[in-house]
Amino acid sequence: MPKLYNIKNWTRQNLREWMDEKSKSVSKVQAFRADQVFYWLYQQRVESFAKMLNIGSETRKLLTEHFRISSLVKSDSLKSQDGSVKYRLQLEDNQSIEAVFMPHTSHNTVCVSSQVGCGMGCDFCMTGTMGLVRNLTTAEIIDQVLAVWQDLQEEQNLRNIVFMGMGEPFHNYKNLLQALEILTDEHGFNFSQRRITVSTSGLLPKIRRFGKEKIKANLAISLNGVTDEVRSKLMPINNAYNLEKLIGVCREFPLESRRRITFEYILIRDLTDSIADARGLIRLLHGLKFKVNLIPFNSTTAGKYLAPYPEQARKFQKYLLDHGVVAPLRISKGQDIQGACGQLVVSTTA
Ligand code: SAH
Ligand code: SF4
């Protein structure tokens, strides 16, 4: 039997072209059926072709002969006191990744992974300790959203997607872009481009390229240090693309109206949390349209760094607010379940 394609690796355009080709040999198969397949997969979220009721039996047979519909196995889930849920999801090769559901009164968010592990080696990050195991496929990215969706109550919905789980999304550029296409496709999930955020450690060539894409998702950059000395200590990528280059690319990044770049900034006791750092941050980002997400360091097992004193974190925030900077202090969701940023790590089963 020929190998079946995983249909969730295909954009609607790919599927339309394939069906168009098939329509030459199989009667009743037409390209627009791809739109219906997307509706069933991503709006009805069915898991078999048999359930795609308005698609004729001949087309369904053809689909069954060539495609399969994947899903991820939830091998574990942990619910936090704040309502967020961390899922451990098992991939077909037995590797695991994690996705986190974060509830909010007006909007629910899902945080997805883009790789198994991560190769960027940031010194404060648990995922970094795994190294890069492999990139996720488009289907594996999409299936995380579907896996989280399965557990929602009838009246609940997902509105936001953040690529802030395991991995450096821009290291997996092609699959990321395909996933974004499916997520924002009006026949697919139909997520608003404004509701999707991709977070990068600062891969400059990819940031430039991302700015030129048709899909305009939000850009977040993990900044974490305001001098090259501190940032290089925390993030090896700073040795390749230093702050001057990074901010230079940010200045050229084309922003849609009313949008801004998010800078994530981890507050680490006595390393990044002084008022001098706050001043440096403002100086560095001057002239950009931006906001800063302040993230108090989540302790990792390495124990190299410390969380800031809450009082100091508030002072840092106040300094930014007093200078007109939008700077939510993100009290990390899911701290009690190790589901917060930088705490996503799974032992590999290679
Ligand atoms: N790899 C991408 C996206 C995933 S990391 C990136 O680095 O942008 C998501 C966020 O978690 C980053 O902003 C990172 O700075 C933050 N983070 C990582 N480890 C952390 C920790 N121990 N405490 C607090 N935030 C952390
Ligand atoms: Fe990778 Fe992001 Fe962690 Fe750095 S902070 S190691 S880029 S996941």
Co-location of 123 and 268 in the same domain: yes
* Pocket probe mutation, ligand 1, options 125, 135, 301, max atoms within 8 Å of Cβ: 125
Report which ligand 1 atom has the smallest distance to the Cα of 300: 22
Tell me what pLDDT residue 345 has.
Answer: 55
Tell me what pLDDT residue 339 has.
Answer: 53
Co-location of 219 and 102 in the same domain: yes
Tell me which of 24-28, 168-172, 262-266, 314-318 is least confident.
24-28
The residue among 83 and 8 whose pLDDT is bigger is: 8
Q: How many CB atoms within 10 Å of residue 171?
A: 18
What is the number of domains present in the chain? 2
Mean pLDDT computed over every residue of the chain: 92
Co-location of 103 and 143 in the same domain: yes
**Single-letter code of the amino acid located at 104:** H
The DSSP bridge partners found for residue 264 are 222, 293
Tell me what pLDDT residue 350 has.
Answer: 33
339 lines ligand 1 (CB under 6 A): no
* Pocket probe mutation, ligand 2, options 98, 113, 123, 127, max atoms within 8 Å of Cβ: 127
pTM of the prediction? 0.94
Give 117 Cα–ligand 2 centroid separation in angstroms. 9
202 lines ligand 2 (CB under 6 A): no
Of 46, 68, 90, the last residue of a domain is 68
* C-alpha pair distances (Å), 291 with each of 255, 325, 326: 13, 7, 5
3-class SS of residue 232: helix
Co-location of 103 and 34 in the same domain: no
Domain that holds residue 35: 5-68
Which one, of 242, 215, 249, lies nearest residue 227 by Cα? Answer: 242
d(CA 214, CA 211): 9
Tell me which of 120-129, 165-174, 277-286 is least confident.
120-129
Q: What backbone phi and psi angles, to 5 degrees, belong to 11?
A: -80, 165
**Strands, sheet with 160-163, edge to edge from the N-terminal-most edge strand:** 73-79, 85-90, 96-102, 109-111, 160-163, 196-200, 218-222, 261-267, 290-296
Q: Is residue 329 part of a domain?
A: yes
| pLDDT tens for each residue of 150-167 | 999 878 889 999 999 999
Q: What is the mean pLDDT of residues 250-263?
A: 94
| pLDDT tens for each residue of 173-195 | 999 999 999 999 999 999 999 99
DSSP character for 8? Answer: G
The answer to whether the CB of 97 falls within 8 A of the CB of 144 is yes
| pLDDT tens for each residue of 301-341 | 667 899 999 999 999 999 999 999 999 997 655 556 555 54
Co-location of 18 and 89 in the same domain: no
Alpha helices, H only, the chain: 12-22, 33-38, 57-66, 138-150, 173-184, 204-211, 228-234, 237-240, 243-252, 275-285, 310-322
226 lines ligand 1 (CB under 6 A): no
125 lines ligand 2 (CB under 6 A): yes
| pLDDT tens for each residue of 85-102 | 999 999 999 999 999 999
Co-location of 82 and 28 in the same domain: no
Co-location of 171 and 185 in the same domain: yes
Co-location of 36 and 183 in the same domain: no
**Single-letter code of the amino acid located at 52:** M
Tell me what pLDDT residue 258 has.
Answer: 85
Of 37, 68, 99, the last residue of a domain is 68
224 lines ligand 2 (CB under 6 A): no
* Pocket probe mutation, ligand 2, options 100, 122, 204, 341, max atoms within 8 Å of Cβ: 122
Give the CATH number of the domain where residue 40 resides. 1.10.150.530
Q: Is residue 235 part of a domain?
A: yes
Q: Is residue 343 part of a domain?
A: no
Tell me what pLDDT residue 301 has.
Answer: 62
Co-location of 56 and 82 in the same domain: no
Give the CATH number of the domain where residue 193 resides. 3.20.20.70
Q: Is residue 187 part of a domain?
A: yes
Q: What is the mean pLDDT of residues 18-32?
A: 86
Which token pair is 5?
């394609």
Tell me what pLDDT residue 348 has.
Answer: 42
Co-location of 46 and 100 in the same domain: no
DSSP character for 31? Answer: T
| pLDDT tens for each residue of 27-78 | 777 888 999 999 999 999 999 999 999 999 999 999 999 999 999 999 999 9
Co-location of 57 and 87 in the same domain: no
Residue 250 has pLDDT above 70, yes or no: yes
Co-location of 262 and 306 in the same domain: yes
Of 22, 53, 68, the last residue of a domain is 68
Q: What is the mean pLDDT of residues 8-22?
A: 95
Side-chain half-sphere CA neighbours of 275 within 13 A:
9
| pLDDT tens for each residue of 67-84 | 999 999 999 999 888 889
Residues with active-site annotation: 98, 341
Instruction: State the ligand closest to the CA atom of 238.
Output: 2
Q: How many CB atoms within 10 Å of residue 332?
A: 17
